[in-house]
A and B are shown apart, each in its own frame.
Chain A
Amino acid sequence: MSLIGASVPRGDAVAKVTGRAVYGVDVRLPGMVHARLLRSPIPAGRIVTLDVDDAWAVDGVLAVCTADDAPPRRTGLAVYDQRLFADDVVRYEGEPIAAVVAETEAAARRALEAIRLELEPWEPVAGPEQALDPATRLVHPHWAEYEVAPGLEFRRHGNVAAEMISDPGDVDAVFARAPFVVEDEYRANRQYQAYLEPKHAVVDYQGGRYTVYVAHQYPFNVRDRLAQILGVAVSRIRVVCPTIGGGFGAKLDVGLEPYAAVLARKVGRPVRIVNDRLEDLLTCTSREDAIVQIRSAVDEDGRILARELTCLMNCGAYAGDMPFLASIPLHLAGSVYRVGTARVEARVLYTNTAPTGAMRGVGGTYLTFAVERHMDHIAAELGMGRRELRLRNLFRDGDRMLTGQVIDQAGTLRQAFDRMEQVAPWAQVTAPRPLHGVGLAALIWLTNPMPGSATLKLNEDGTLGVVTAATENGSGAVAMGLTQIAAEELGLRPSDVVVLAPDTDAAAYDAGSQGSRTTHVVGAAIRKAAAEVRRRIFDVAAEMLEVSVDDLELVDGTVGVVGDPGSRVPLGEVARTATFTTGPIAATGAYRTPMPAHDPTCATGLLFPSFPTPTFHLHLAEVEVDPVTGRIHVVRYVVVQDVGRAINPTGIRGQIQGGVTQGLGYALFEQLDFDGARYRQRSLETYRLPTAVDVPRVEVELIENADPAGPYGAKGVAEPPVVPVAVAVANAVSDAVGAPFDRLPVTPEDVLAALEERRRRP
């Protein structure tokens, strides 16, 4: 029986639920000492005094470190704008100013208190609109001197850290003669990744090499970024990843590793550093807050003729990976629905707030919020049904995105609408009920294409070792996806496949757990490696069984002869024979998804030019609004999702339930906003994550339109379910209340205000 499509229980589950799994924060090394960071208490200002002498005198302190004794260079992902420690100027609350390392964490805390820090506070640049104002102080007055990563071209100016502009030139003319123009502005606040395990690192420096123990989504990026920051060769760094307690994008770039590395080298002992929850919340690269303005020209039949979309994205004090994300507005402004021609502008703004960055569904969450709220508005303006308007403009097979990329399987969207109609008939769910509303939202999303590899080695007992730096970020991509693919390829049980935890010394490059790439990309790499392993197995077994390789098959841990059940040899015997005759059986496979073709003249600053391995999604939310408190109850949630091929349906349902849960948090609960440039929410009590009682059981309908290149047709699965949730809910609440909700999160306060406003209207 095939393992592909089988809901095999994941091998790491028992260790996790019984507390036996060893997480990054559990790592302890002999002789290990403890570091803590002195962080800026204000969002903007100048360092007047930084006197660390008394900190050195604290009992148990081994070293104190500031910008003066840290690597001098500015580094980054796209723009080299950030030093390890603030020198002279602080740019966000929580920015590291100094580090101490001591025998105990308590001593390190005492030492921090002994540091004398005087700051001259400046008026912070608080938000993207203020940052854009020419009268505003520059967060980086020397921005023009900063280097940009090799090969990247994009415009920067003043507080604009990156700009992406696409203007085909014919947009204004279409608007000028359009029968209807509909215009909106949408705002979304930040979202904290709020993983269980705070950021941490243990670094050991010995023999000129740094060994980094960190539970991370992208170990090779830790290697590369650490090398960049420290100014050493990548081969001088080894990254070892224990079990990770969640990442959701915040653990793709380096975090605390460089501080531990600098200090470990200084004191010659392994150094551990861990954020407390407040530090983590204040300094985590949360999902950016954004403002999206959107305008559409529409004809009488509801056809969209042209569109204009402008997006301001707040990257905080340093650009991080945000210049890459400035491409997302162009991809989402004109996919799912045909929009004719479109002008799209995206600007990434420096402010005196914590740097933002990738979070599950990067940019898609608020852009889909804008596009799909706007669709409801257009439908209302035209007096047209909301579903009908969507169907009229829906993409079909072969339609092009605004980048010129052709979406071959776009007709899957129509399939998704049809499937949704079967499980939640529109006329039925939208039958008028007081304070009850329904929202729809569709999406085309990508599968991250970046490279990965896997080495398969047949052990001498017939089990399989898999050496890869693909990371199990909790999604099951390794524990279920890759394990099942490897087992299926070689006729093994999943429990006979052992996947090595990531170690950059052992495995070849892997681009980490991001953009749902692991099952798709590394699964494809495993299939390549498995073909070679299978060939070697058959070569050896053919001699052992004295038959032709063409007659052999792999079944239940044996090599058998097709049509002759009596003639078979266990894989362990084959492996032992091979090892001591022709040599051990092992092979490596590598894969990278080719980038789909696009029109390179379509935009400037388009650092992420196309959407590889697209997937298709439709979400439906039903809500009820409490007339007393304005609280929103999501009473039904349905997801129709194209996954290419469901390797493990239970795993996929779990990822969709989780993605929707995170999306409901973004839609309703997870408020992360500012008092000036300081976060108002400073604990997990006021930064409210949804609890089990706030989330309905998500109904999942899978569509399996195979991807020709994916393993068994599998596409990316786990990232996109978070994306359309906020707008499905916001559309439903707007429908229930009869007023537009154009700001995220949608709060009971806003609902009550709207209910009262509605009552006052005649």
Chain B
Amino acid sequence: MDFRRAGTTDEIVSILAEVGPDATLLAGGTDVMVQYLRGEIAPKLLVHIEQVDELAGVDEADGRVDIGALTTHLTLSEDPVIRRTVPGLAEAASQVGGHQTQAVGTVGGNLCNASPAADTAPPLLVADAELRLRSAAGTRTVPLDRFFLGRRHTARRPDEVLTSIAVRPLPSHAGETYLKVGRRGAMEVAIVGLAARLVLDDDGDVVTDARLAVCSMAPRPLRLPDAERLLVGSRGEPEAVAAAADAVQETTEPIDDARARAAYRRRLVPRLLAEAVRLCMRRARGEEESWS
């Protein structure tokens, strides 16, 4: 295996143009190195991109927030713009792995690894995230809900690098959250992760817009439009939440694995959803700090 270091996005793009599918991009390494040591991947070339500074950081302009692909989980969980505009993402980033993982792991890596359990995916899905992918041929934009094609499988072409993620900030009268279930308080691959973003009417009463997404309930992280529709127009009452939970059960296909049984995952859905709706509504009404 060869190893190269790229110092700029242009360099990454030109290496990928030259080597394509034989190259694996290495950012924080929290997935790539583990998979390499387990023999799950055998790249001919590792391209170390962690030090490409232009791909890291958070930028807020014109009602959009741009997140550099190399922004670490630690930065996401502490960044004031993220905590104000996509608090669910900050909440998720603070629960990825442990402190060591958060210090080096990046949001771009989390998405491109396309684990069914990617913690940052659900909060980005509910924030209408769009990914910018750059190659020698130019830049294209892919909505996140069309990026994940399956387990460890994305719409990124081998000659493309994910450069940034654009998200829609939380509007007013809205609240969001990410709830992660694991056995331990840290170092967990989500048994289930659920992100919710609810927008209320001016009275803080009726749900006018709802966005829900889950991880670890299917081969890829999923938006849940059917469940969302059942919450819109509701006041978050138990019947509406129960109906939405039923819709989640229908769209998802959890499995038994060494981390948990499918039955437990199914059992969690209505409980997590009720808790998420309760939290989002309280946060939308300003009854509770978004996240601290």
Seen from chain A, the residues whose Cβ lies within 8 Å of a Cβ on chain B are: 627-629, 631, 668-669, 680-682, 685-686, 688, 690-694, 747-749, 752-753, 756
Contact = CB atoms under 8 A, between A and B. Distances in A.
A629 B268 contact: yes
B274 to A, nearest CB: 8
Contact of B185 (A628, A686, A691, A747): A691
A680 B258 contact: yes
Nearest to A751: B264
A693 B186 contact: yes
A631 B191 CA distance: 12
A680 B256 CA distance: 11
A628 B258 contact: no
A686 B259 contact: yes
A688 B268 contact: no
A417 B97 CA distance: 40
B186 A629 contact: no
A752 B98 contact: no
A692, A748, A752, A756 interface centre (most CB from chain B within 10 Å):
A748
B259 A628 contact: no
Interface of B: 98, 179, 181, 183-189, 258-261, 263-264, 267-268, 271-272, 274-275
Nearest to B265: A749
A691 B272 contact: no
Given A691-B98, A693-B185, A748 B258 contact: no
Contacts of B183: 631, 668-669, 688, 747-748
Contacts of B187: 685, 688, 691
Nearest to A747: B183
A634 to B, nearest CB: 11
Contacts, number: 55
Given A691-B186, A753-B267, 8 more contacts: A628-B274, A629-B268, A629-B272, A681-B258, A688-B188, A691-B184, A691-B185, A693-B186
Contacts of B267: 749, 752-753, 756
22 contacts: A627-B271, A628-B271, A629-B181, A629-B272, A685-B187, A686-B258, A686-B259, A688-B183, A690-B184, A691-B98, A691-B184, A691-B186, A691-B187, A692-B186, A693-B185, A693-B186, A694-B185, A694-B186, A747-B183, A748-B181, A748-B183, A752-B267
A747 B184 CA distance: 11
Nearest to A756: B267
Contacts of A756: 267
A685 B117 CA distance: 13
Contacts of A748: 181, 183, 264
Contact of A628 (B186, B188, B272): B272
Give the residue among B183, B186, B264 with the most A Cβ atoms within 10 A. Answer: B183
Nearest to B37: A276
A281 to B, nearest CB: 12
Interface of B is mostly: loop
A755 to B, nearest CB: 9
Nearest to B180: A629
B8 to A, nearest CB: 35
B189 A685 contact: yes
Contact of A749 (B189, B260, B271): B260
B1 to A, nearest CB: 13
Nearest to A673: B258
Closest 3 CB pairs of A and B: A693-B185, A686-B258, A749-B264
Contact of A752 (B185, B186, B268, B275): B268
Contacts of A631: 181, 183
Contacts of B275: 628
A265 B188 CA distance: 45
B181 A669 contact: no
B36 to A, nearest CB: 14
Centre residue among A628, A694, A748 by max chain B CB count within 10 A: A628
Contacts of A694: 184-186
B70 to A, nearest CB: 24
Contacts of B264: 748-749, 752
A669 B184 contact: yes
Contacts of B259: 686
A628 B184 CA distance: 15
Contact of B184 (A680, A682, A688, A753): A688
Contacts of A747: 183
Contacts of B181: 629, 631, 748
Contacts of A749: 260-261, 263-264, 267
Contacts of B98: 691
A493 to B, nearest CB: 38
B266 to A, nearest CB: 10
A544 B66 CA distance: 85
B264 to A, nearest CB: 4
Nearest to A745: B183
A752 B181 CA distance: 13
A694 B186 CA distance: 8
A682 B260 CA distance: 14
A608 B109 CA distance: 56
A749 B271 CA distance: 13
B221 to A, nearest CB: 19
